[in-house]
């Protein structure tokens, strides 16, 4: 099993320069790895067997393929009664005895689960992919040399001077586009999380409303109620009618009872994803609120930068940021996240010295 998910370990390796913050990484990269791991598990027959197993003594491959393609069914709105030990038995009254076609609920999602999880992984990765293109390697260009030259003080000091010249130059328009692109990706993160919650509810037919009660039952230790509720969404057994050509040319109908082994895993995977999507959507929402606060509260931006600079004297920091726009502040904070606090403080001190030698331009704006 480790061999199947081993390629994901390279995807989650930490880079020397981080172009995403922690919540962005959690949403786009960790969620993608989680969805791909679930896809590998569900598509690995060697661990969980065939996705469908029907009771038929002859032509097993034909019956399995037929029921997999055309779908098995259960009785719609059936009330499932758990047995005395909390397990739901696969009985004819559970899957439906002599159910009329209009009262059948076909398990049509079953063969689509792997594809849906794979599609979700691509959708969740979309903001990270877009930001990687729009970012264009700017942070790596600004910060990567500090990691490579950490043992060479002369070269490190020379690159620090390059950063000072960069941040004392006029890149306001470029930095504003940089910031706006990042915020757009954060908004995409929130929209994708909410959209996936709604799509899964449609895909499984009222999945979230039912699973809320199922998770409460599991938290209370009521396994029997958990099984009863999850069987309505992920039945473990179903019926399948298979038609074959008889000796005289007419169709022969075989009524089969089929087991759906993967639903044992589906009910647990999607219970976890239910919690994970809500958790990630909540974090992204808080991050957007934080982003709005930094946009409309200059004092908050100043204090955040001062804290990252290990409380550089207020007067020095005010002079260093004298002609610094909001976009400049954002890029400066991103640089501060990728270099050591000592180097970042040194950067701001040298910016203070550089700004002290220049005249204050009329109408200069501050962070």
- What confidence tens digit (pLDDT) does each residue in 17-44 have? 788 888 999 998 889 989 988 888 887 7
- Which of 223, 185, 227, 187 is closest to 210 using CA atoms? 227
Count of helix runs (H) and strand runs (E) in the chain: 18, 5
> At CA 136, angle to CA 305 and CA 17, rounded to 5?
50
Interval 256-279 mean pLDDT: 84
pLDDT at residue 283 in the model: 94
pLDDT over threshold 60, residue 352: yes
237 against 5, higher pLDDT: 237
CA 242/CA 13 separation, integer angstroms: 49
Judge whether 242 and 37 are in contact, CB under 8 Å: no
Interval 74-83 mean pLDDT: 59
CA 15/CA 153 separation, integer angstroms: 23
Of 69-73, 117-121, 284-288, where does mean pLDDT reach its minimum? 69-73
Q: What is the pTM of this model?
A: 0.80
Judge whether 181 and 134 are in contact, CB under 8 Å: yes
- % of the chain at pLDDT higher than 70: 74
pLDDT over threshold 90, residue 180: yes
* Mean of all residue pLDDT scores within the chain: 78
pLDDT over threshold 80, residue 100: no
Of 71-75, 128-132, 192-196, 264-268, where does mean pLDDT reach its minimum? 71-75
- Which of 37, 20, 5 is closest to 272 using CA atoms? 37
273 against 3, higher pLDDT: 273
**Residue 84 banded pLDDT, cuts 50, 70, 90:** very low
């Amino acid at each position: 099993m480790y061999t199947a998910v081993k390629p994901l370990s390279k995807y989650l390796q930490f880079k020397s320069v981080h172009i995403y913050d922690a919540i962005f990484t959690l949403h786009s990269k960790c969620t993608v790895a989680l969805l791909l791991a679930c896809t590998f598990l569900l598509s690995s027959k060697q661990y969980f067997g065939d996705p469908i197993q029907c009771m038929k003594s002859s032509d097993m491959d034909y019956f399995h393929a037929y029921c997999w393609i055309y779908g098995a069914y259960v009785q719609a709105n059936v009330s499932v009664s758990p047995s005395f030990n909390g397990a739901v038995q696969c009985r004819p009254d559970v899957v439906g005895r002599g159910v009329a076609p209009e009262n059948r609920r076909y398990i049509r999602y079953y063969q689509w689960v792997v594809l849906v999880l794979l599609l979700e992984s691509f959708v969740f990765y979309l903001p990270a992919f877009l930001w990687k293109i729009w970012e264009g390697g700017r942070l790596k260009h600004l910060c990567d040399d500090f990691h490579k030259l950490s043992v060479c003080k002369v070269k490190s000091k020379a690159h620090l001077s390059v950063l000072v010249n960069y941040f004392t130059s006029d890149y306001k328009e470029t930095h504003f586009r940089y910031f706006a692109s990042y915020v757009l990706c954060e908004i995409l993160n929130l929209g994708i999380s909410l959209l996936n919650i709604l799509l899964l509810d449609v895909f499984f037919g009222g999945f979230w409303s039912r699973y809320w009660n199922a998770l409460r039952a599991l938290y209370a230790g009521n396994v029997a109620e958990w099984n009863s509720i999850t069987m309505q969404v992920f039945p473990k057994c179903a019926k399948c009618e298979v038609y074959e050509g008889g000796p005289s040319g007419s169709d022969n109908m075989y009524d089969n009872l089929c087991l759906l082994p993967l639903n044992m895993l589906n009910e647990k995977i999607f219970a976890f994803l239910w919690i994970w999507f809500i958790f990630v959507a909540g974090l992204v929402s808080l991050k957007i609120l934080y982003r709005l606060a930094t946009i409309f509260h200059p004092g908050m931006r100043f204090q955040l930068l001062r804290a990252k600079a290990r409380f550089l004297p207020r007067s020095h920091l005010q002079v260093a940021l004298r002609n610094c726009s909001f976009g400049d502040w954002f890029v400066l904070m991103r640089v501060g996240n990728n270099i050591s606090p000592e180097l970042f403080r040194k950067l701001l001190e040298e910016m203070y010295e550089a700004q002290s030698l220049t005249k204050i331009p009329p109408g200069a704006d501050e962070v």
